[in-house]
Structure 1
């Protein structure tokens, strides 16, 4: 698969290589080679034919651009590929050429080749998820006690723990890793059904050939050919799409916290990274940009998979072909976003001082809810709410800190004077104390997520 320079900008060389034209063609040849070997082992074709076929199943021997051009006329890449494979086998053994692609169909070859490529793509994604999750868990642990503004509807809300916020980014990635493995276990299946999914040409040997072929390719034997039953396959693609959405969420928060006016986070810089062609002072969050671009284009690809599921009878007309074209784009986007965020978090700058200054700049207003609840013990909730609401309006009007206005306001209130000590209320304005609830939650979830991350390592052994 050739990609534009703009696709290349948003992904990685590794993922491009997985779905490269030569890689897909070689996957198709691998299918043909393994099919012949399985059929020979079951006595369906001569062993000499299987050896002759195997000897020329090498993509480097063929004009791949010519195969692609011919596929447009033929309606499938498998048709010119099998034709050229047959001709090449005949050059060395004319009799063996008759057994090329015997009993199979074009979709068997293409689908299985894409399954093989997808297995490699998922390995890249799993590795990237392991790296990013580890970085985020370390970052969360280092900042469990760091107060930072929580923001709702794009506005300052209350104080939370930065570590707790980071764990909110991490949990979906670990869930995605688990669900991708589960979905892959169901979807990475051999496709082998012959012309209409019945393996009629192979007769009673069809099941045995399928088992041998699947074992050789390291794939699961499907309960039945899935030529037009695409549910497990599409579910896998949708899990990749959901992952990319989660990466987009991280990138969104990162980009907002890296804005100059906020300045709480910053991506690595230097060596031309994040610079501007016009403004020397710029430090652009390029990793967040790449991940956001990947997330922006993913829903359309996912929707195309769903839209292509209504495939006709035993072979789709147009919708299967549309699915094939959309499939690599999901992985290209996901891995591009993953790598970009791994680059960002490998050298992320966390400005804890700026986080505190941003809290303090709000004149204590974000502690208003806590103050209202504390005062409700003395005068009831409605009265406390009204009292604090008036105090916050005065803080804004006079450009003063809420804590500075509180002692004189309590002394001036007939219902509060002598009933509560203003000095004890001032503890509510401590950002570290305000983050205590988030800190407790973070400590508990951090341990759980570390156990979950470790379980993946154990499973891989």
Structure 2
């Protein structure tokens, strides 16, 4: 029976992916710990600290043996120690001459922190793979809808014309930076932990540091300048990075959530066959993925807050802070993996209604063009005078229920020194002429993500009217 949603047969798919969940099950965690113990014995044998035959026996045993989890639970409760039950059970199945060399001089934290380093390495690989797909999907949207004009919004209200490609390029650029962050931080977190009781390594004597190097090499990790028993910044940084990643995914989800609203109708989530939106309102097409990624991001941020608490570590070992990570690191990893996987589905299947985008912009009566008009008039009457003129015209025009052009024609006609003909008004109020540096920005993002070909943008284009 499952008590946590990540392990639920019914709801677990929402909170964790199978490959990441497998890292944190009792079986997955114990298997990883046994491999670490065997690797430690091998490293100790490399430097003459442990008999070679003992190390080989430990490796042979952990390759095939898996403890009974119910018995392991009983032993752990009886000993009141995190790993003593496991060691007792392992010693029982080892040859007698090898049993005394398992876990030689190591501590719980040496074992579990090294496991943390391996988990963070695996998670980096998983997240890089899925983030790369999400970034690629966002970049593909930026390419396809490069010229698809829509209403940009500020404080939830109509602002200036933008293109949907610009919006998607912002997403792609942010996801791209997270890929950089994942890679750049590896050297700070993929580190073995082998310090002994208080991180001094005194138990192992003169061969301690050689053992540490051999241990790290065998695991494909790096050796820290000194053991990191109380230095939890690597874990805190990684969980905080997961909060950043899921925060970006939540932002994308929130944008889809808002633009899927029927009264806007510019985007729609992909709809899988058989999906039911509402039991009581059959017409509904709920933004399930968008809501899910927002929920997951909230949970990861909560875990990141606790990870930062771990930086406050007492003396040379402090279980109060360190053992909190046993819960929050697995949780944050599972939620983050589920979030990014959902982002891939959302972005790769996103439905874009380019015609609705243009229609929503057009029905605003030209008012999103007030900024470009003000800028053009600034050359003749100064910026602040132009701002006041257009501001008053916009207020009066909305009160009269007319479009911006009608309101401006009256305002310009009454302003001394200003005269604009019909062609000038056409140019000033054309959204396709008011996109600023958007094309260049999109091309810069596409070039970085490898989606810009020589001489133009790859993928399906869109015409200047916003129709793909």
**Separation of aligned partners in 2, 1:194 and 1:253:** 50
Distance verdict in 2 for CA 1:318–1:379, change over 3 Å: closer
Distance verdict in 2 for CA 1:43–1:405, change over 3 Å: closer
Unmatched segments (≥5 aa) in structure 1: 453-461
Unmatched segments (≥5 aa) in structure 2: 453-468
Aligned to 1:395: 397
Distance verdict in 2 for CA 1:86–1:257, change over 3 Å: same
* Paired residues for 1:263-302 under 5 Å: 263-273=265-275, 275-302=277-304
Aligned to 1:457: none
Question: Pick from 29, 42, 56: which aligns with 1:37?
Answer: 42
Asked if 1 retains the 8 angstrom alpha-carbon contact of 2:136 and 2:449, the reply is: no
Question: C-alpha deviations, 1:211-255, integer Å up to 9, x for none?
Answer: 221111111122211111122232222222211111111111121
**Separation of aligned partners in 1, 2:309 and 2:371:** 48
Distance verdict in 2 for CA 1:414–1:328, change over 3 Å: closer
**Separation of aligned partners in 1, 2:160 and 2:74:** 60
Question: Pick from 132, 135, 153: which aligns with 1:133?
Answer: 135
SS at match of 1:144: coil
Aligned to 1:122: 124
Aligned to 1:415: 416
Alignment of 1:54 with 2:59, yes or no, is: yes
Shift of 1:343: 0.5
**Separation of aligned partners in 2, 1:288 and 1:60:** 43
TM-score w.r.t. the length of structure 2 is 0.89
Aligned to 2:460: none
TM-score w.r.t. the length of structure 1 is 0.91
Question: C-alpha deviations, 1:118-169, integer Å up to 9, x for none?
Answer: 2222211110011111111111011111111111111111111211111111
The structure with the greater share of residues assigned to helix is: 1
Distance verdict in 2 for CA 1:122–1:19, change over 3 Å: farther
* Paired residues for 1:134-153 under 5 Å: 134-153=136-155
Alignment of 1:437 with 2:437, yes or no, is: yes
C-alpha RMSD over aligned residues: 2.2
Question: C-alpha deviations, 1:278-336, integer Å up to 9, x for none?
Answer: 22211112211111111111221111011122222222132111122111121112111
**Separation of aligned partners in 1, 2:244 and 2:389:** 46
Asked if 1 retains the 8 angstrom alpha-carbon contact of 2:394 and 2:407, the reply is: no
Asked if 1 retains the 8 angstrom alpha-carbon contact of 2:140 and 2:451, the reply is: no
Distance verdict in 2 for CA 1:375–1:46, change over 3 Å: closer
Aligned to 1:215: 217
Shift of 1:351: 0.6
* Paired residues for 1:361-400 under 5 Å: 361-400=363-402
Shift of 1:74: 4.3
In the alignment of these two chains, the number of paired residues is 447
Distance verdict in 2 for CA 1:382–1:113, change over 3 Å: closer
Distance verdict in 2 for CA 1:114–1:410, change over 3 Å: closer
Aligned to 1:159: 161
Asked if 1 retains the 8 angstrom alpha-carbon contact of 2:242 and 2:300, the reply is: no
Distance verdict in 2 for CA 1:324–1:421, change over 3 Å: same
Shift of 1:184: 1.9
Alignment of 1:253 with 2:255, yes or no, is: yes
